[in-house]
Chains A and B, each alone.
Chain A
Amino acid sequence: MPLPYTETVMEHFRNPRNVGQIEDADAKSIEGSPACGDMVAVYLKVDEGQQRIQDIKFESYGCASNIATGSIITELAKGKTLQEAKEITWQQASDALGGLPPIKTHCSVLAVDALRAAIENYEERHGLIQEREPTTIETVRKRLKHVMNPVVGLDLVRTKLVSDIQLNGGVVRVVVDLPKNHQFASSIGQDIVEKIEPLWDVDEVIVQFTD
């Protein structure tokens, strides 16, 4: 196959399912940014009694993987309970598409994050969210599991690229075991900042590379 995308990915790219907005949505989210060339917006209609996703739509700004993963998670989430939908992983989304090239797995992470953010948005609106917890090294590590290593398509923690995490006041320092001029150093650095900075008690994120 010439293009490293599966036929399923191309099918979802050509004919994405559940595209659009929901006028009177019960919840909405938008993840990613124009700056990183990747955005997914998710709209939910929830059956309150059953806590089940009645309808789900998405919008996308991004490459073929971005559109395909947005499409597939709407198919995976539709009809599920909020709890079931929360547990959908990026790996499942990727598998449902027949797999994604390693350099593109971050797209499936984004789609899943957008779905989870929409569910969280619903919970916030219905007073189901607990107190905000202070950020710990463990919080940062959990988030770093959403940052992909584009070489192998697995996350930074799993591929043992996180050498150190330091917290100091509102400043988070993440040390990555890659040379500063590595092909993907810049994009990984940006991804880390985007995932950690939004935390409510974080003022600044410093990404340090070796050498």
Chain B
Amino acid sequence: MFDGMVYLDNAASTRLDERVLEAIKPYFFDTFAVATSQFGYSPGIEARDALDGARASVAAALGASAEEFIFTSGSTESSNLAIKGVAMALGEKKGKHIVTSRIEDFPVLHSVRALEKQGFQATYLDVDEWGRIDLHALRQAITPDTILVSIQAANQEIGTLQDIDAIGAICREKGVLLHSDATHSFPRVPLDVNQAQVDLVTVTAHLIHGPKGIGGLYVRAGTPLAKWMDGGFQEFNLRPGEENIPGAVGFAKAVELVSPEETERLQGWRDTLIERLLEIPHSRLNGHPILRLPHNANVSFRFVEGESILLHLDMRGFAVSTGSACFSRSLEASHVILGIGGNHERAHGSVRFTFGRFNRAGDVDAAVDAVRDVVTSLRKISPLGKDAE
């Protein structure tokens, strides 16, 4: 099915790396036991060892200690746990105000909205034309009633990186907890939890050629967090359920396999792709030109619509994504493009390209040629842009 297909939607999910599969296999067949107890039989102990090793490994990639990292079913669960867990722990005692940005991904946005329905107040910070929040506005938004700030490390659509170090400093100064959704940045964009002074970080495995269905949450020691699932005492009594040991091992292996050299290679392709796409008339880049994810390009093409672009590219063997309303499950245009001041048209014509380990250098030119052909032929049948030249 994927033979010959140029896959440029690595921000949606990625192909598993064979080496991750090899690392995982033993935990399905030989060491299939789980770590039910510290005092159990030897296969269980062996499994526990593997889990502990995986935990320490992923935590280290964040500059954290193993006791501060829990595994979850994915970044959606992690962000829900972080935000609702803090709200439930502090809502009665400390305050009911949460600050976040308007371009967060849905697990963060919808969790905050759900809390609003339960009596919490929220401030959704605006972003500039590049997608960066204003630090001064953040400072002003924090009140004595604020219990949590949640700002993503990088944006899922337009790739813009936030200045987490500066944000962390502000939150620490004001005595407010900081959660950061690093789903799309970890570990390609380095994040050290102590340097950034961040208290909770959401991460996931399947965007870095790891297994689907496993993610994690960094929780700084001492962070008040209420558990919201009941059923056992696993993951430091924060997240019950038999641990997904194969998943955890796979996550750790995937993190280990990401190298700065590889990231640099992807970044080179990103830059070349952006440069060549912008040679197509009536196109513009979405997101910051420099402070953006190393593997993400997002360009809007005027007068044509995203789903049509996507299907035509699919027919030519390219997989991409779009911020068009037609493509979304709620028929709403990308809230991120709208958030950076773009109009609906800019959202409908936006195409996101994201690179991964299994792309090749030749994919860049091939993609540009295909996009140019598709956009040109769709413009021929469009009622728009006929007077623009």
Chains A and B bind each other:
yes
Interfacial residues, chain A to chain B (CB-CB below 8 A):
13-14, 16, 19-20, 30, 34-41, 59-67, 103, 150, 181, 183-184, 186-187
Please, which residues of chain A bring their CB within 8 A of the CB of B345?
34-35, 37
Give me 18 other A-B pairs in contact (C-beta within 8 A), A63-B308, A64-B307, A150-B331 excluded. A19-B380, A19-B381, A37-B306, A37-B325, A37-B333, A37-B347, A38-B326, A60-B383, A62-B305, A62-B307, A62-B308, A62-B326, A63-B307, A67-B381, A184-B331, A186-B331, A187-B330, A187-B331
Nearest Cβ on chain A to B267's Cβ, whole angstroms: 32
* Contact of A59 with B344 in the complex, beta carbons under 8 Å: no
How far apart are the CA atoms of A16 and B311 in the complex, in Å? Answer: 14
Nearest Cβ on chain A to B304's Cβ, whole angstroms: 7
* Contact of B303 with A36 in the complex, beta carbons under 8 Å: no
* Contact of B308 with A37 in the complex, beta carbons under 8 Å: no
Nearest Cβ on chain A to B289's Cβ, whole angstroms: 25
Number of A-B contacts (CB under 8 A): 80
How far apart are the CA atoms of A62 and B327 in the complex, in Å? Answer: 11
Interfacial residues, chain B to chain A (CB-CB below 8 A):
113, 303-308, 311, 315, 324-327, 329-333, 343-345, 347-348, 380-384
Please, which residues of chain B bring their CB within 8 A of the CB of A63?
305-308, 324, 326-327
How far apart are the CA atoms of A207 and B104 in the complex, in Å? Answer: 27
Nearest Cβ on chain A to B385's Cβ, whole angstroms: 9
Which residue of chain A has its CB nearest to the CB of B330?
A: A183
* Contact of A186 with B307 in the complex, beta carbons under 8 Å: no
Please, which residues of chain A bring their CB within 8 A of the CB of B307?
62-64
How far apart are the CA atoms of A67 and B311 in the complex, in Å? Answer: 12
Nearest Cβ on chain B to A113's Cβ, whole angstroms: 14
* Contact of A60 with B381 in the complex, beta carbons under 8 Å: yes
Which residue of chain A has its CB nearest to the CB of B382?
A: A61
The 7 closest A-B pairs by CB, nearest first: A187-B331, A63-B307, A41-B383, A63-B326, A59-B383, A34-B345, A37-B348
| A–B complex contacts, Cβ < 8 Å, 30 sampled | A13-B308, A13-B311, A14-B315, A16-B381, A19-B381, A20-B381, A30-B383, A34-B384, A35-B344, A36-B344, A37-B305, A37-B306, A37-B325, A37-B347, A39-B384, A40-B383, A61-B382, A61-B383, A61-B384, A63-B307, A63-B324, A64-B311, A67-B381, A150-B331, A181-B113, A183-B330, A186-B330, A186-B331, A187-B325, A187-B331
